[in-house]
């Protein structure tokens, strides 16, 4: 029984690594494809709802710091996002042996998204965003992965609380 549980957890970890690798690859490929949209008008996919629009994000998520200018802003953002990415990786490594499938998936998605955006900042100096839903900031696949990862971790926490309450 213990050995089967250990094997299942190892399988969850391997599956999560594959998920994260796939998401990182998808993020990288879609950003490369989106580069062709630079200096082009937006391409409507669903009129008034969804369009592809190239944008260079030199700021944080949701451009929270857009009105705040300070020296070395790009370098500081790169350092902070790299540190956050490292923190997620360390949490995952620390939790790996006892993490549920939902936790593995959530941490893999968060890490894939974080690495995708850190790679952009490190190589380009900005993050490429290209998915635009009406009344929402422009985003990319890495952003979707991070949000999906947070949701998966929320599901994992809720399931763990429920299991603990049952005894």
Domain that holds residue 131: 2-166
Instruction: State yes or no: is 67 an active-site residue.
Output: no
pLDDT at 67: 62
Question: Can you give the three-state secondary structure of 105-142, one letter per residue?
Answer: HHHHHHHHHHHHHHHHHHHHCCEEEEEEECCCCCECHH
Is the pTM value of this prediction over 0.75?
yes
pLDDT at 116: 96
In whole angstroms, give the CA distance from residue 113 to residue 119. Answer: 10
Q: Which residues, in sequence order, are CB contacts of 24 under 8 Å at separation 6+? A: 112, 115, 116
Query: What parts of the chain have a pLDDT lower than 50?
Result: none
In whole angstroms, give the CA distance from residue 93 to residue 90. Answer: 5
pLDDT at 68: 65
pLDDT at 65: 60
Strand-pair partners of 57: 127
How many CA atoms within 13 Å lie on the side-chain side of 121? 23
Catalytic residue, from 27, 59, 67, 129: name it.
129
Whether 129 contacts 138, CB under 8 Å? yes
Question: Beta-strand (E) ranges in 84-158?
Answer: 127-133
User: Considering only CA atoms, which of 144, 150, 155, 157 is closest in space to residue 107?
Assistant: 150
Number of domains composing the chain: 1
Q: Which residue has the tokens 């042996």?
A: 97
Instruction: State yes or no: is 143 an active-site residue.
Output: yes
pLDDT at 59: 76
pLDDT at 73: 73
Extract the tokens encoding 78.
Answer: 């790169």
The length of the chain in residues reads: 167
pLDDT at 61: 66
pLDDT tens per residue, range 115-133: 999 999 999 989 999 999 9
SS3 40: coil
Catalytic residue, from 27, 67, 120, 143: name it.
143
Q: Give the pairing of strands 127-133 and 50-57.
A: antiparallel
């Amino acid at each position: 029984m213990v050995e089967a549980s250990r094997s299942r957890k190892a399988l969850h970890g391997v599956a999560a690594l594959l998920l994260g690798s796939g998401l990182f690859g998808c993020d990288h490929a879609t950003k490369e494809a989106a580069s062709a949209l630079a200096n082009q008008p937006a391409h409507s996919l669903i009129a008034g709802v969804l369009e592809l629009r190239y944008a260079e994000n030199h700021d944080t998520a949701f451009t929270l710091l857009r009105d705040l200018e300070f020296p070395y802003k790009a370098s500081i953002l790169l350092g902070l996002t790299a540190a956050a990415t490292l923190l997620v990786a360390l949490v995952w490594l620390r939790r790996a042996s006892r993490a549920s499938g939902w936790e593995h998936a959530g941490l893999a998605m968060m890490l894939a998204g974080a690495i995708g955006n850190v790679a952009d900042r490190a190589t380009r100096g900005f993050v490429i965003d290209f998915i635009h839903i009406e009344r929402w900031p422009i985003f990319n696949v890495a952003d979707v992965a991070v949000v999906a990862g947070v949701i998966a971790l929320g599901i994992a926490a809720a399931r763990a609380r429920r299991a603990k309450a049952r005894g």
